[in-house]
């Protein structure tokens, strides 16, 4: 079995040792050997996949096979959300699928899930029960069960799942793969059947952190058609001496002493990477986790499928029906009380975040056999969410990685969590921790992790850039900074002597900053930093009469920034007195 990791396939295509068509042959042979059910709900026929390849652009993911969870739309394919009576066939693919295919990725099919993404176990589907690739008797984890197994079994290079309460992380722990749960809004949810629309994240399953980041690089683009999409710069990598938080007191492993020992080993490996351990009060996080299913967010699950659930309740899986229809008793007043309580818990958690850069937790405290979950579906599912349920409620980023095997051969996993939009930073740290694991392999394939390239750390050298107008946060050209992963460093003002003009006949409207020694100064600027390559591509698209020069800030610091050719100010409006572009716009 050859590896389907993205770097290996790209190198093989470049050298001619493999072609994408040969890879698709192998993918369909592997699927035929394993069987279509229960991993797949809809499989694209091989001849259609080959036709897709013929039309695929030769972009960053050309010839890379992938799968999507079947609550994500693909044009011309049924979307079931794990419920046959709910199925519909969209005419347009989800935004994230469009992005991936525009870069040449080849869709293989749509995968099984806990119905309506309600569950962390993978047992709540009429299309069959997925099991861990390491044991037919143990749960695969859910709700993104099929997506995780497809990667772990070596059927695709990566897959898309979703994550509301932990569905992009729990299956990772049971299948020895990587799961990147991006910050809310970083990947557009347009074309996703919602579970809790305000919390849902489309997640990425892969064999390595590097592959997950390669997919995020393509998929994590602002979508103006999604009301929950967010524009944000990513954080830089953590330096040595980073602080990782651990809960004070004894963690709950539900009697799984083998998992407890593996977690202790992961803590020691993080120490060896230069981490400084700090103990935190886990109470606000634990109480927040309980809100997800005991609070009003269950009503949001009902809102997602209200008409269908009320007209065809018999079509719902028994356990899912009990959870979703139970929300009918939740009042609007309960909803507001839940929001207030969440705000209180987030404020309490701020004190703990001030003491740490990242948090380290078990992904799950234990695992279960399928028959155990079927006999006690609610309690055991709740146990699996003890360390996952609070993450989206608190607007955190997270990445789950393997952390070794129990003596019985079942895998164990850990999760690194950071603040919102620290996805790149925590993934780089997670990759180092993953690679510190002895004899690490990709899923259940037996392919060694060290045969794949690590995450390449961003260059330490950053270039600071001052922006004054259409590139400010919230302005029309700010996306050009976001696309280059520019990071906001400061909001400040220029030194005296600068004048600001509203230029005539520019689209979008732009100001021009000129040093003439006359202006009162104190012009508002935002300082961003980016790597040299990003800076170069940014500067290349700046139109005359604007350009990049050296600005002096109020504290005397020199920084690169936007300046305007003097001739362009003739006939322009002097807006210096407004103190900046935003002040002028708000006039």
Parallel, antiparallel or unpaired: strands 558-564 and 358-362: unpaired
**Whole-number Å distance between alpha carbons of 467 and 169:** 38
Nearest to 215 by CA among 363, 81, 93, 67: 67
User: Is 397 annotated in the active site?
Assistant: no
Nearest to 427 by CA among 177, 237, 217, 246: 237
Residue owning tokens 């930073």: 425
Burial of 570 per CB tally in 10 Å (0-12, 13-18, 19+): exposed
Written as six digits, the tokens of 104 are 């040449």
**Whole-number Å distance between alpha carbons of 555 and 193:** 51
Instruction: Give 321's contacts (C-beta < 8 A, 6+ positions apart).
Output: 309, 313
Residue owning tokens 């390449």: 456
Q: How far is CA 46 from the centre of its chain?
A: 30
Q: How far is CA 584 from the centre of its chain?
A: 37
**Whole-number Å distance between alpha carbons of 525 and 581:** 9
Nearest to 28 by CA among 15, 40, 17, 14: 40
Starting at the earlier edge strand, list the strands of the sheet with 487-493.
487-493, 524-530, 463-467, 558-564, 546-552
**Whole-number Å distance between alpha carbons of 378 and 364:** 15
User: Is 451 annotated in the active site?
Assistant: no
**Whole-number Å distance between alpha carbons of 578 and 378:** 59
**Whole-number Å distance between alpha carbons of 176 and 180:** 13
Q: Which of 93, 132, 140, 143 is catalytic?
A: 143
**Whole-number Å distance between alpha carbons of 115 and 71:** 9
State the Cα angle at 251 between 240 and 400, rounded to 5°: 50
User: Is 69 annotated in the active site?
Assistant: yes
Report the SS3 class of residue 109.
strand
**Whole-number Å distance between alpha carbons of 228 and 484:** 21
CA dihedral of residues 581, 582, 584, 587 (deg, nearest 10)? 180
**Whole-number Å distance between alpha carbons of 38 and 583:** 59
**Whole-number Å distance between alpha carbons of 148 and 133:** 10
Q: Which of 93, 144, 157, 167 is catalytic?
A: 167
Cβ proximity of 504 and 572 under 8 Å: yes
**Active site (catalytic) residues:** 69, 143, 167
């Amino acid at each position: 079995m050859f590896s389907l990791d993205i770097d290996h396939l790209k190198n093989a295509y470049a050298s001619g040792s493999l072609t994408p068509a040969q890879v698709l042959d192998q993918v369909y042979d592997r699927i035929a050997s394993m069987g279509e059910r229960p991993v797949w709900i809809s499989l694209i026929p091989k001849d259609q996949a080959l036709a897709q390849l013929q039309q695929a652009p030769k972009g960053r993911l050309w010839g890379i096979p992938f799968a999507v969870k079947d609550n994500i739309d693909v044009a011309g394919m049924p979307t079931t959300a794990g419920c046959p009576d709910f199925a519909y066939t969209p005419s347009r693919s989800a935004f994230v699928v469009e992005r991936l295919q525009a870069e040449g990725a080849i869709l293989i099919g749509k995968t099984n899930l806990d119905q309506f993404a309600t569950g962390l176990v993978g047992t709540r589907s009429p299309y069959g029960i997925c099991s861990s690739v390491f044991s037919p008797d143990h749960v695969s984890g859910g709700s993104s069960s099929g997506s995780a197994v497809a990667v772990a079994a070596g059927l695709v290079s990566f897959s898309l799942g979703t994550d509301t309460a932990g569905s992009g992380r729990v299956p990772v722990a049971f299948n020895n793969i990587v799961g990147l749960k991006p910050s809310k809004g970083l990947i557009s949810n347009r074309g996703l059947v919602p579970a809790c629309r305000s919390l849902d994240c489309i997640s990425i399953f892969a064999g390595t952190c590097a592959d997950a980041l390669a997919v995020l690089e393509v998929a994590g683009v602002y979508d103006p058609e999604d009301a929950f999409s967010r524009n944000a710069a990513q954080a830089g990598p953590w330096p040595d001496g980073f602080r990782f938080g651990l809960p004070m007191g004894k963690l709950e492993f539900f009697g799984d002493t083998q998992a407890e020992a593996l977690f202790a080993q992961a803590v020691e490996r993080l120490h060896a990477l230069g981490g400084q351990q700090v103990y935190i009060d886990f109470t606000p996080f634990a109480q927040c986790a309980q809100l997800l299913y005991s609070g009003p967010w269950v009503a949001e699950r009902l809102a997602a499928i209200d008409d269908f659930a009320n007209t065809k309740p018999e079509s719902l899986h028994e356990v899912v029906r009990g959870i979703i229809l139970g929300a009918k008793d939740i009042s609007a007043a309960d909803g507001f009380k839940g929001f207030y309580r969440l705000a209180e818990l987030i404020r309490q958690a701020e004190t703990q975040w001030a003491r740490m850069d990242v948090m380290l937790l078990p992904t799950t405290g234990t695992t279960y056999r399928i028959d155990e979950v079927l006999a006690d579906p609610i309690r055991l599912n709740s146990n699996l969410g003890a360390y996952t349920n609070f993450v989206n409620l608190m607007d955190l980023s997270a990445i789950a990685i393997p952390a070794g095997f129990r003596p019985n051969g079942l895998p164990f996993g850990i999760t690194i969590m950071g603040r919102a939009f620290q996805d790149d930073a925590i993934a780089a740290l997670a990759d180092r921790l993953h690679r510190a694991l002895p004899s690490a392999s990709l899923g259940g394939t037996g392919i060694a992790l060290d045969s794949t390239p690590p995450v390449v750390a961003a260059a330490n050298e950053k270039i600071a850039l001052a922006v004054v107008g259409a590139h400010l946060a919230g302005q029309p050209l700010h996306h050009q900074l976001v696309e280059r992963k520019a990071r906001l460093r400061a909001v400040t003002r220029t030194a005296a002597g600068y004048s600001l003009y509203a230029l005539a006949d520019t689209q979008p409207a732009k100001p021009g900053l000129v040093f003439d020694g006359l202006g009162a100064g104190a012009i508002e600027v935002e300082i961003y930093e980016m790597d040299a390559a990003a800076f170069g591509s940014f500067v290349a698209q700046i139109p005359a009469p604007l350009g990049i020069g050296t600005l002096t800030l109020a504290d005397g610091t020199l920084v690169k920034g936007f300046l305007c050719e003097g001739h362009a100010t003739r006939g322009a409006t002097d807006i210096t007195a407004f103190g900046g572009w935003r002040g002028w716009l708000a006039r």
